[in-house]
Structure formats: structure tokens, C-alpha cells
Amino acid sequence: MNITDHCRRTIAFTREIMRQPVTARGDLRFSDLAFFLRFARPIWRVGVLALAATALVSAAKTVLPLSIKFFIDNVLLGETSASDALIAGAGGILSSLDALIVALLVLGFFTGGMDLLRNYWTARFREGYAFNIQTTLVEHVLSFPLSYFKSQQTGYIMSRLSDDVQILQYTVSQYLPQIVANALYVTFTFAILCVLNLRLTLVVVAFIPLYLLVNAVFIRRIRAATHRERERQAYVSRDLQEVISGIDTVKSHAAEDREMHRVSGTLRNMIDARIKNTMLSAFSEYFRIGTMSLMLIAVFWFGGNEVLAGAMSVGDFVAFAVYIVTFAPTVNTFFAFPVVMQPALTSAARLRELFRIHGEAGAAPGTGGIVPATVQGRIEFSGVRFGYTASEPVLLDANFVARPGEVIAVIGRTGAGKTTLINLILRAFAPQEGTITLDNCDLASLDPRWLRRQISLVSQDLFLFHTTIEENIRYSRPDAAFEDVIEAARKARIHDDIVRFPEGYGTIVGERGTQLSVGQRQRVAIARAFLKDAPILILDEPTSALDMQTEDQIRRTLRDLVRDRTTILVSHRPSLLELADRVLMIEGGRVRECMGAEPARQVDPDRTPLSGQSTAP
């Protein structure tokens, strides 16, 4: 590519980033800003202390340049100026060099000590604020319906939960204290400048509209560019997480180059967005620095003429010049604040989007979810219709009843809706028509957390946490005693395998349980179900990845597990279908009973449940 092509691309790039966005993505309303203030309420006292310390430090730093005036006019020249009428007391006291030095030492110690307190209180406020918002956000996201997590990729959700909070935390810790300090410094300095020379101060004020113009030009553009960058960064996290999670599949298909190409494409889009955002910020900073330079030139020109005309003392001019040298960058930072805040405002808007998503009905205390006193275990589908899209329903007018203690096997071709039926029972999704009831109570009216505590799930897609075997089994009942964990492992026929490990029940299973065999992981999941001892059991292809010998062992374990529990069994294995009292087939979206299936067990429809379970209809 020759120089001409590079120039053309640069011009096209500049036009693109300066194009006015159609909509400013990530806009926050005042009510949204007020929403984020609630996280500061528990720590408002620390915030007030930090603000007070910031005010004192800013005031002390503002006084320091005045020492130059006193040193030149009062100590060296022994003169007074027009401004000394308002500061005559200080000028008289500080006319001695020794007194001036002592005053500077006292002021320095005071400023340093107060600055340490300010940093401590600011850090306390910053970390407390970040803790409040992060914990509240995680709690809120965990209340989302399962359908949200099934429709979003893990990496994308993690980016929203971590990156945006970190940006907001950085803003609270860096920009907000800085803007408060700068605002106070500008206020104090402006008052002193007016005392030193009002006419020269008006020259400084004349440049403020230029700063406002720069902000008006760049704020909406930077906000839109920041939103694009944040979204593409989330896509990068999404793709990386997916590749790492599926590394076995990637390796087995020798697809490293293909995945690298896909990730690099997403990364390239994010880098392009970041470059555009960086250049917009650089352009805005360039214009602000230009405005600051013009202001300094004007002050030196007008102030020099004032000194030459005898209307301003040398000490006043030097002090004014020192104030402007420190004041101008502070003003530049102050007016840059609306621009540099755009990433934080964008992150705040993205977080606000998450907070606007409603959690599951009845998922939080006091939201009206019904919590029955006992569970009998009668599950009934009545005219249930559901589809992931309106045009392609998965279930059409599904009707069946699972009686207490009955084992119902569900079969059907791949994609027929077997897993969808399970997800509906777990309230991962809600039926679009019809009702699903538990003991004649509509699932939609029940507290979803209570409902899931009544269900044990053993799935082909089981998940073990990166912790010990004991903690993985105990996950279904955290308060269980160690003896109960061992008993559950014995029932699941995994105890003998566990004690053979050098660390026994303290063995770390690795991420997703990779240190255990497939059969061992399956039996740990079954041990969870035994320990939970829930009245309803769902078995979703529990032996699909096992060899025949291991499947035979687990089948004997499952025979004990399903006893006296309402069980929904999804499987095509003939050996497991022997556990069923009835077999249902899903075909064409409808549920029908396989009349030719011989039940392996006889269940009395009016049987009495286990002790602790209700006999109410």
C-alpha cells in the first residue's frame, strides 16, 4: 500500500469517527443515575469524610502559590499591592521570611496528613461501593429465569458482570475524587484570581465557551463508540470462553486454526472499535489542550501589559501566572470530565439494563410465590403448548398425569421435546398455553426456588464443581453431616471408589469433574440425589455415555433411588425402561402412552406417600 492509499484511508477513518451517531447508545436518565446512588447509602458517612478531606486538601493546595506573591512583594521588595487590601492580615504576618517558612511547613504537614486520611476514606468508600453494587448485581442475575442463561453464552454474561463493574469501580475510585478535587480547586483558585486581578480573570473566563463547544462536539460520539467497544469486548469474552470450554472437541477435530480465525475476527472488530474510541478521545484532548494554550498566551499578553503599565505588581503577576499554569490543566481536566466519563456512563447503562430484567416471579422473598407445607408428588400437564419460536411449537396440547410414587418413562426421537418437557417442570420456561400443576397447584404460582428444592435431577449433562468429592455430593444439601454424605455415596455405589483415592472424600475432582471417570461422575450425581432425598426425581438420559457394565451397576442404584418417588425418566435404554410403570412417547408435539409397554412395577394410584409427604390431593 502506497502513501496515497494510507492518506485516503486516514481521511476516510477520520470522517467515519466524526460522523454524528444516529442514536447515542447507553444514555442514562436522571432516574438511572439516582438508582446507582442507592449503593452508596450504607457507606455515606465515609463518603462525607472523604469529601470533607478532599475540600480541605484542595483549599490548602490553592493557598500554596500565594507564598510566591508574599515572598516577592512582602519579603524581597517590601511592597504592597492593590490586592493586599483583602489579604493585608496575612501579608503583614508573612512579611518575615522566617514566618513564611514556618507557615509553609505547617501547611505542608497539614496537607500531607489530610491527604493520607483522604486516600484512606476514599479507598473505603470506593471498595464499599463496588462491593455493594457487585453483590446486588450477582444476586439479581441469579434470580433471572433459567431461560435467560440458556439463551445467553457464559462468556458474554461474565463480561457484563465483571468488566462493566470494574469500569464503574475505576470511575468511582479515580475520576469522581479527581473531579471533586478539581472542582473545589477551580472554585478556590477562581476566587483568589478575582482578588489578584479581576480584569485578567475575565480573560480566563472568556475561554470557557470553547471548552463547552469541544464537549458538545465529542460527547455523543465517544458515548456511541464506547458502547460499541464494550459490546465487542463482551463478544471476545464469549468466544474465548466457548473455545476453552470446548477444548476437547476443538482438539479432537484439529480445529485450532479454525477457532483461532473465528476468535481473531471477533478480536479484530473489538480492536477497530477501541482504536476509533481512542482517536475520538485524542481529538477531544487535542482541542482542549489547544484551548488551554491559547488561554495561557492571552494571560501572559494581557498580564504583561498590566505590569508594564504599573496596574499590577510583579508579585501579583507571578502568583497569577503560577495559578494559571496549575489552573489551566485543572480546568482542562474539569471540562474533560464529561468526555472521560462516557465509558463509565456506558458501563452504568449496560448494568442498568441488567437490573431492569425481571427475575423469576416469586424468586425473591415477599414476591408472592406459594410455598406448600407438604408435597405429595402429583404432576399433571393439561393442554400444554410450548415452542421456542411462535411458528415452530415443540409441544402441542400435551396431556398426562404422573401419580405420586410413579415412574414415568418418556421416549421420542431426538428433538421431539423430551428435554423441553423437563425444562417446563423445572420452570426454566413457561408454557404458552395450558397449565402444569404439582399437587393441583399451578407451577407458575409456586416459589421457583422451593419448587426446585423438591426435585432431584440426574442429567446426562451433569456438572461437578472444582472442589472436593465431599462438597460436590453435599451441594444438594449443604447442611448435611459427613455421615449422611457417606451413606448417600454408599447408596450410589461410589463409596468404594472414593476411599481408593489418596485423599478420599477430600479429592479435588478438577474442573467439571475431569479427574473422575464418566461413570464415577454419574454416580456422584446420583449420590447428590440420594442426599437431597427430594420427593420428585428427574432422570435425563442418566446412562447415555456409559458402557454396558457401568450402566448395569447404575441401573441397580437407580432402582433404589426411584423407590417411593415420583420419577420422570428420559431414556431409550431398554434396561432402564424396565424401571418404569408407564411409558409415554412424544411424537409430533403430542404426548401419548405406549399401550404395548409392560410395566415393571405396579403402583397404587391412591398409595400413601413416604412419611413427611402429604396425602392431600
Q: What is the pLDDT of residues 35-76, one digit of tens each?
A: 777 888 888 888 888 888 888 887 787 777 766 666 666 666
pLDDT above 80 (res 440): yes
Q: Going from the N-terminus, what domains does the chain have, and what CATH number goes with each?
A: 44-356 (1.20.1560.10), 361-454+534-617 (3.40.50.300), 463-532 (3.40.50.300)
Question: Is the pTM of the predicted complex or chain greater than 0.75?
Answer: no
Q: What is the pLDDT of residues 544-594, one digit of tens each?
A: 666 677 777 778 788 888 888 899 998 877 778 888 889 999 988 888 887
537, 579 contact by CB (below 8 A) = no
Q: What are phi and psi of 35, to 5 degrees?
A: -60, -40
Confidence at 86, pLDDT banded by 50, 70, 90: very low
Lowest mean pLDDT among 64-68, 188-192, 279-283, 482-486: 64-68
What would the grid cell of residue 413 be? Answer: 426421537
User: Which alpha helices (H) appear in 64-175, and where do they start and end?
Assistant: 66-69, 88-93, 97-142, 146-151, 154-170
Question: Which among 409, 428, 422 has a CA at the least distance from the CA of 457?
Answer: 422
pLDDT of residue 26: 47
Q: Is 520 helix (H, G, I), strand (E, B) or coil?
A: helix
Q: What is the pLDDT of residues 177-199, one digit of tens each?
A: 777 777 777 788 788 778 778 88
Q: In what order do the strands lie in the sheet with 379-386?
A: 395-402, 379-386, 433-438, 441-442
pLDDT of residue 403: 92
Q: Is 541 helix (H, G, I), strand (E, B) or coil?
A: coil
pLDDT of residue 608: 39
In sequence order, the 6+-apart residues with CB closer than 8 A to the CB of 16 are 276
Q: What is the pLDDT of residues 385-418, one digit of tens each?
A: 998 877 788 888 889 999 998 999 998 888 888 8
- Region class of 374: left (phi > 0), else alpha (psi between -120 and 50), else beta: beta
Question: Which among 211, 470, 459, 429 has a CA at the least distance from the CA of 331?
Answer: 211
Q: What are phi and psi of 462, to 5 degrees?
A: -75, 155
Distance CA 531, CA 540 (A): 18
pLDDT of residue 613: 41
pLDDT above 70 (res 349): yes
